[in-house]
Structure 1
Amino acid sequence: MKIAFFSTHSYDIESMERIAKEDGVTPAHEITFLVPRLDHTSARLAEGCEGVCIFVNDIADEESLRALHAGGTRAVFLRCAGFDMIDLKVAKELGLAVIRVPAYSPYAVAEHAAALMMTLNRKIHRSYNRTREQNFRLAGLLGFDVNGKTIGVVGTGKIGALFARIAAGFGAKVLAYDVVQSPEALSYGVEYVSQDEIWARADIISLHAPLFPSTKHIINTESIAKMKQGVTIINTSRGGLIDTKALVEGLKSGKVHGVGLDVFEGEGEYFYSDCSGGIIADETLARLFTFPNVIITGHQAFFTKEALDNIGHTTMTNIKAYAAKEPLVNEVK
């Protein structure tokens, strides 16, 4: 079987080539690594490949999927847990198997969320820049004790539950919202409440929910209005959870004290690319960069050695299961 991997970088290629050999996927199957991200025009690069492997910012919409199918593709392997980038209805219509990596390293993302939280609170990014210029004054760097504060966790899957554990370790009161309560989160002393109660009570809100129509823009003008003055918002899940224009207004008014984003709605045009020589055309993203109390990282929360290894091994397991016509335990239906 031939498989085309889209949106690959040097670290992807190095990791996947090694793991493909370790797991016996190559040379039995032929893997081609492609730099472009998948869209309706680049889909032709996978012509003759029964499988394609895509990542978070690939565009597997109806047009892309029909182009892939016409070229002989019958399986789409995801190198990630989320599947909001693929039109599942069209995939089902075309008979395309969609297989994901349901968990790779929840610790990586949860720890990154905590890092954003503490960097914002203690102004580490500003302090770093000052001391590099031999400026050791403390004015403007005042933070607060996380101990005793209230942290709201929206979404308590594997990542959200681990973030709740980290938050509890700081001595914070942890509130959570999810449609299904997590026994793991409950074991850390988490209190499940409504979304509105999280908005009203939390000093810090961390988003760990998947992106569905029901969760799109859960952070919006109305929800921000219900929040405490000076709230901190962290998002390491999906950019579409936040109405970014409403977030900018919250920052301008002072209602929102700090924002840590590893994801951004519309990030596909920028993230995983070097845009330093150009201009950010997205006015909302450009505006966010002007706030000293906003930290943006380029969807790197997952990026640890352990996570790359786990993504690689699970992807190879999925490929072997599909090729052998075995049950696809990680299939998205």
Structure 2
Amino acid sequence: MYKIIMFDVREEEEIIAKEWAQSHQVELTLRNHSLGKEDFDYIKEYDGITISQVAQVDDSFYEKLASFGFKQIAQRSAGYDMYDLAKAKEKGIIISNVPIYSPESIAEWTVLMAGNLIRKYDLVQDKVKQHDFTWGPPMRGRVIGDMRVAIIGTGNIGIATAKIFKGFGCEIVGYDLYPKDNLDHLLTYADTIDQAVSNADVVSLHMPVTDQTYHLFNYKQLKKFKKGAYLLNMARGAIINSNDLIKVLDENHLAGAALDTYEDESHYVGNDLKNNKIEDEVFIQILNHPKIIYSPHIAFYTDQAVKNLVEGGLNATLDVLKTGTTDYRVN
């Protein structure tokens, strides 16, 4: 019987994991904390490992895990930018992810946040809480169906997002390094990002963080957006230069932004900091900015997504143990 250890387990995930272990006849140990050096003393007895890492993984972990006989780390998310894939591969460690767990969950949140921005929901609620039931130009929104939406990254999540916007009647323009052949009914591809964003009323980002995309949306790029456009980022925080976004919003070039992620979010997401002072001045500006809606990497968070992430990480772990590889390896 294989022995797998699962870190970063939330209480709601336990029953899903235990049911999976029973049906696959695997001995499964659950830990609610992240894998740390203090765990090295006892994890040697396990065959496989799955984690839900947020912060950057220390390079020494790969060598240490390899010395224990581990062949893999199964990340329970689509993103894997917290790993050094080359160093992991050098030590014989396969990194896997869960590339598709519920594109619709993230797409729905993306469009809901766009609606909140466009229809000035926060402003309306602030007035209602003050028992001010009047309305005026600052609260006036736009018809979403009359807007042009740019989808930057037409993978599963980008396509799901495009479909919902299309249902409103929006014109959709897409950009991707590898355009798909079967999307003519849904969108028209632009040749460049500049072309895609220049006339878009809404720009929705659905791309990973790479050396090429890190801070891709800096001041220069953001100024190429149509004046008055809205920016949506439910992907990775580091593809946007946060300081530059704030500057462009303050200059009234962009009308608003909805962010489900922040480039230094590992210090905050998943932590209850009600009684702690946040020292990150950029993050404080994002949280308090009147033109920004921020959510703590929660766009994915539905019943279906949680189940798929738990089972996806465990399935990938078992694949490597049984066959030496997995379809979901990323290195």
TM-score (norm 1): 0.91
Residue in 1 that maps onto 2:8: 7
Deviation track 1:258-294 (CA, whole Å, cap 9, x = no partner) reads: 0100011010000111112111111111011221221
* 1:114–1:43 Cα change, 3 Å: farther
Return the letter of the residue paired with 1:11.
E
Return the letter of the residue paired with 1:304.
T
Q: Aligned partners of 1:18, 1:236: CA distance in 2, in Å?
A: 30
Residue in 2 that maps onto 1:212: 210
Deviation track 1:83-120 (CA, whole Å, cap 9, x = no partner) reads: 11111111101101222212110001111111111111
Q: Aligned partners of 1:283, 1:18: CA distance in 2, in Å?
A: 44
Structure 2 segments unaligned to the other structure (5+ residues): none
* 1:316–1:4 Cα change, 3 Å: closer
Q: Aligned partners of 2:182, 2:159: CA distance in 1, in Å?
A: 6
Which runs of structure 2 are paired with 1:5-154 in the superposition (5 Å)?
A: 5-21=6-22, 23-25=23-25, 28-35=26-33, 37-38=34-35, 41=37, 44=40, 47-48=43-44, 49-139=46-136, 140-154=138-152
SS in structure 1 of the partner of residue 256 of structure 2: strand
Shift of 1:3: 2.9
Question: Conserved in 2, the CA contact under 8 Å of 1:251 and 1:257?
Answer: yes
Residue in 1 that maps onto 2:164: 166
Question: Conserved in 1, the CA contact under 8 Å of 2:21 and 2:28?
Answer: no
SS in structure 2 of the partner of residue 4 of structure 1: strand
Q: Aligned partners of 1:50, 1:248: CA distance in 2, in Å?
A: 47
Backbone CA RMSD of aligned residues? 2.0
TM-score (norm 2): 0.92
Question: Conserved in 1, the CA contact under 8 Å of 2:74 and 2:314?
Answer: no
Residue in 2 that maps onto 1:282: 280
Deviation track 1:135-179 (CA, whole Å, cap 9, x = no partner) reads: 322233211111221111110000001111112112111111101
**Identity among equivalent pairs (%):** 25
Return the letter of the residue paired with 1:76.
I
Structure 1 segments unaligned to the other structure (5+ residues): none
Return the letter of the residue paired with 1:113.
T
Question: Conserved in 2, the CA contact under 8 Å of 1:61 and 1:85?
Answer: no
* 1:57–1:155 Cα change, 3 Å: same
Return the letter of the residue paired with 1:99.
S
SS in structure 2 of the partner of residue 147 of structure 1: helix
Return the letter of the residue paired with 2:227.
Q
Residue in 1 that maps onto 2:230: 232
Shift of 1:71: 4.5
Q: Aligned partners of 2:190, 2:42: CA distance in 1, in Å?
A: 46
Runs of 4+ aligned structure 1 residues displaced above 6 Å come to none
